[in-house]
Amino acid sequence: MQKNLSHGIVAACCIALSTAATSETIVASNLRDPMEITIAPSGDLFVVEREGRVLRVHPTTGAMFVIGTIPVTALRIQEKSSNWAREDGLLGITIDPAFETNQRLYLYYSAPDKMLNRLSRFTLNEGLIDLKSEKMILEIPTDRRDKVCHQAGSLSFGTDGLLYLSTGDNTNPFESGGVAPIDDRDGRDHCNAMRSAGNTNDLRGKVLRIKPTEKGYDIPAGNLFKPGTPKTRPEIFVMGCRNPFRLSLDPKTHTVYWGEVGPDANSPNNKGPAGHDEVNQAKTAGNHGWPFCVGNNKPYPIVDFATGKITSTTDPAAPINPGTHNTGLRELPPARSALIWYPYADSAEFPLVGKGGRNAMAGPVFYFDAKRKYNIFNKEDDHTLITYDWMRNKAWKVKLDAQENISGMTVFLEGLQHPMDMEVAADGTIYLLEYGSDWYFNTNGKIRRILPDQGNQAPKIAIKKTSATQFDAVDVSDPEKEAVTIKWYHSTNTTDKEIGKGATITISDITSGELRAVATDPKGSYSVARFSFEAPALPPLTIKLAGKPASASFGQTLNYEVSGAKDQKTIAVRARYIPPTGHDAGGPAFSDDVTKLITSRQCLACHQIDTTSVGPRYFDVSMRYRSDSQAMEKLRSKLKTGGAGAWGEIPMPPQAAVSDQEATTIINAILGLSAGSSEAKGSAKGQLILPPAPASAAPNGAWEIIAEASGNARARILINEK
């Protein structure tokens, strides 16, 4: 369950486990589905969130300001089950190379007024985005229906002043059996990437490269197609991409790197190879194969989706696009192999990446600089690419030789939380943007500051509200046992100011914005704790129990009434018995050992205990299967083989990294979550029968009654057990 902000949030350092010695601090938290980050010359950070907010962060004090909200089309929590615009929103951000003088930002977003994605330039006015200053640079028509996704949207300027934009294939990937979505039947164009990624006359499924000007943009030399070439777009630098989610540019060679999110097939079959994710490298313009090849140019046959028959075999050296929706060239440039590629299972070529869910990302490229304040790696790691995986929550360093080939690979970071973007500041500081725990609608995204370990770790601190006007810094400690200085800040709108020092602060006139306590040690390492005065974003439900019982017993029937629901059909009312040692437990929970196990096996990348993510919440799985005598075998098989359909069309990847013993431990823990629980669904007024007593139930506990509905904050009542 999401912790209420009024309880205070701890900002801890050294959360990630690292094979490289690092010092890490969380400098911003409570972000809402953050998508991309960029760094200003001043050191300030700019972040975009999926639903339209643009934030500016001062990393040294943790101050965070909303400098603008861009109107966008995006999936909203009020309609979280919608098949419309599944991955649309505010997708990318970068700053102008002359930002210090012109205050210009470039944003890539899903337009609310037209069916397209838009690249625009905005200017800051007194620190805020001036929406009237928008200069549209490029518009890319898109589809948003029937679970169409893959928008990509990363933006980056090269040191040569050229602007790069990644775009996804804008295709439904769920109706092609995990292989190439090349369904060429009438009315199935939304399932056909031959119309987009494989189309030389379409800007989707590409890496675009342009030279921005005052009035628009020019085409630089060296793109894939010269201006005026029939049936092509000159903006294309790289074609044949599925979902090139994050771009990175080598600052010296201008080589482009990106992570390519791959298809879902668990194993090869007659319609194509197993799905692979890719880390790609483009020294020059080219075709990277999708939807006709994947990985190291593993070819897909051309399949007639009407009959299921194979009509031809793709030749990676001379791929053909036979699609009826293809408006570009039929004969395509040769397909290029990925730099790194890996499936769900163990990778024979790159065993260090492991196995399990996958979502590849790439960049930045590290160069050693003795004059720079920080070098995250040593001199022998000069010219090293950092790659990371959103699902596996790891990062690797990939050593490149003089020809930019791989000469070595080691693990860099582990234990991350959906790493989304990574950028390097001028002083060598690495900022890692973490998306949060869920697939959508996060409120726990954050920015992690990563430095080389210099024998000094950052202190720890939390905030506790001790009265209506008093706040205390608590749990303050320093790993090196040194004295810690505490400063208090308050920020609202675009204003941030220091308001006090010491372990306690009393405030009587602050009712909005954010309060922060910054703990700094003598060597300058710091951590930030936050307290938000803002009200919850979702309207709350109200639940009433007939007779207002002060206590209840196992097996008793309670009459309930729920009000305030936006969608009554989604109402669910749940009762859960809490033993006397855990009245304030906050929801169903795993033991520490199980939590460590499922975290290490990336289970939480798709599932949460008590909130819906891309997969079902574990509590719902427990409720469905707890009375099924075959539950263990069914769920253990599902873990091993993956699949789709039981909870929706989004496929579950096979968890090849989970051993049989671990699977048994995990499934037993999941099935145990619903012990002492019961549920009623679909009605604002009805009866809830409390469950029978579990064998392990201790007396004198309490009943937690929760009402929830789509688009509403939960309502919660606690009553004693009789």
**What are the pLDDT digits (tens) for 65-96?**
999 999 999 999 888 878 899 999 999 999 99
Closest CA to 268 of 294, 288, 242, 291: 294
Residue given tokens 């909870």 in the structure block: 647
Per-residue pLDDT at 659 exceeds 90: no
Strand arrangement of the beta sheet that strand 470-477 belongs to: 460-465, 470-477, 504-506
Query: Which residues, 6 or more positions from 47, have their beta carbon under 8 angstroms from its beta carbon?
Result: 28, 31, 34, 35, 36, 37, 54, 55, 57, 93, 433, 447
Comparing 60-69, 213-222, 476-485, 645-654, which segment has the lowest mean pLDDT? Answer: 645-654
Kindly state the helix (H) or strand (E) to which residue 624 belongs, with its residue range: helix 618-625
What mean pLDDT is predicted for residues 283-299? 98
The first and second tokens of residue 125, run together, are 């006015």
Q: Are residues 694 and 580 in the same domain?
A: yes
pTM metric for this prediction: 0.82
Q: Are residues 469 and 560 in the same domain?
A: no
Comparing 261-265, 304-308, 330-334, 600-604, which segment has the lowest mean pLDDT? Answer: 600-604
Q: Are residues 600 and 687 in the same domain?
A: yes
Backbone angles phi, psi at 303, to 5 degrees: -110, 135
Tell me which of 532, 558, 573 is where a domain ends: 532
Looking at residue 219, its pLDDT comes to: 98
Instruction: Identify the sign of the CA torsion 490, 495, 499, 501.
Output: positive
Query: Which residues, 6 or more positions from 386, have their beta carbon under 8 angstroms from its beta carbon?
Result: 362, 363, 364, 365, 366, 395, 396, 397, 398, 412, 422
Backbone angles phi, psi at 443, to 5 degrees: -125, 15
Q: Are residues 546 and 620 in the same domain?
A: yes
Per-residue pLDDT at 111 exceeds 60: yes
Looking at residue 649, its pLDDT comes to: 65
Looking at residue 349, its pLDDT comes to: 97
Looking at residue 536, its pLDDT comes to: 63
Tell me which of 512, 532, 552 is where a domain ends: 532
Q: Are residues 552 and 700 in the same domain?
A: yes
Task: Using pLDDT thresholds of 50, 70 and 90, give the confidence band for residue 6.
Answer: very low
Tell me which of 479, 510, 532 is where a domain ends: 532
Q: Are residues 607 and 519 in the same domain?
A: no
Q: Are residues 482 and 546 in the same domain?
A: no
What mean pLDDT is predicted for residues 489-493? 90
Is 256 part of any domain? no
Is 692 part of any domain? yes
Closest CA to 35 of 94, 120, 113, 123: 94
Q: Are residues 610 and 528 in the same domain?
A: no
Looking at residue 684, its pLDDT comes to: 94
Closest CA to 152 of 93, 87, 106, 199: 87
pLDDT in tens, 146-169: 899 999 999 999 999 999 999 999
Looking at residue 455, its pLDDT comes to: 87
Looking at residue 532, its pLDDT comes to: 87
What mean pLDDT is predicted for residues 372-388? 97
Is 192 part of any domain? no
Is 272 part of any domain? no
Is 618 part of any domain? yes
- DSSP string computed for 272-322: BPPP-EEEEEESS-EE--TTTEETTTEEPEEEETTTTEEEEE--TTS-B--
- Tell me, what DSSP letter sits at residue 605? G
What mean pLDDT is predicted for residues 553-573? 93
Closest CA to 585 of 676, 695, 709, 454: 676
Is 389 part of any domain? no
Looking at residue 590, its pLDDT comes to: 84
Closest CA to 357 of 651, 635, 86: 651
Q: Are residues 492 and 603 in the same domain?
A: no
Query: Which residues, 6 or more positions from 465, have their beta carbon under 8 angstroms from its beta carbon?
Result: 6, 8, 471, 531
**Cβ-contact 458, 450 below 8 angstroms:** no
Tell me, what CATH number does 513's domain have?
Answer: 2.60.40
Q: Are residues 470 and 589 in the same domain?
A: no
Tell me, what CATH number does 684's domain have?
Answer: 1.10.760.10
Q: Is the peptide bond before 234 cis (omega within 30 degrees of 0)?
A: no
Residue 133: is it exposed, middle or buried by C-beta count within 10 angstroms (0-12/13-18/19+)? middle
pLDDT in tens, 8-21: 322 322 333 345 67
Q: Are residues 610 and 635 in the same domain?
A: yes
Is 250 part of any domain? no
What mean pLDDT is predicted for residues 652-656? 76
Per-residue pLDDT at 292 exceeds 80: yes
pLDDT in tens, 331-361: 999 999 999 999 998 999 999 999 888 899 9
**Kind of pairing between the strands at 430-434 and 419-424:** antiparallel
pLDDT in tens, 670-696: 998 888 889 999 999 999 999 998 877
Overall domain count for the chain: 2
Q: In whole angstroms, what is the distance from residue 151 CA to residue 243 CA?
A: 7
Query: Which residues, 6 or more positions from 613, have their beta carbon under 8 angstroms from its beta carbon?
Result: 437, 438, 439, 440, 606, 607
Q: Alpha carbon 578 to chain centroid distance?
A: 33
Per-residue pLDDT at 276 exceeds 60: yes
Q: Are residues 661 and 615 in the same domain?
A: yes
Give the domain range for residue 469: 460-532
Instruction: Identify the sign of the CA torsion 542, 543, 544, 548.
Output: negative
Per-residue pLDDT at 538 exceeds 70: yes
Q: Alpha carbon 602 to chain centroid distance?
A: 14
Q: Is the peptide bond before 351 cis (omega within 30 degrees of 0)?
A: no
What mean pLDDT is predicted for residues 497-519? 92
What mean pLDDT is predicted for residues 129-145? 97
Is 497 part of any domain? yes
pLDDT in tens, 592-650: 788 878 877 777 667 888 777 667 888 889 888 888 889 898 888 888 777 766 776 66
Task: Using pLDDT thresholds of 50, 70 and 90, give the confidence band for residue 586.
Answer: low
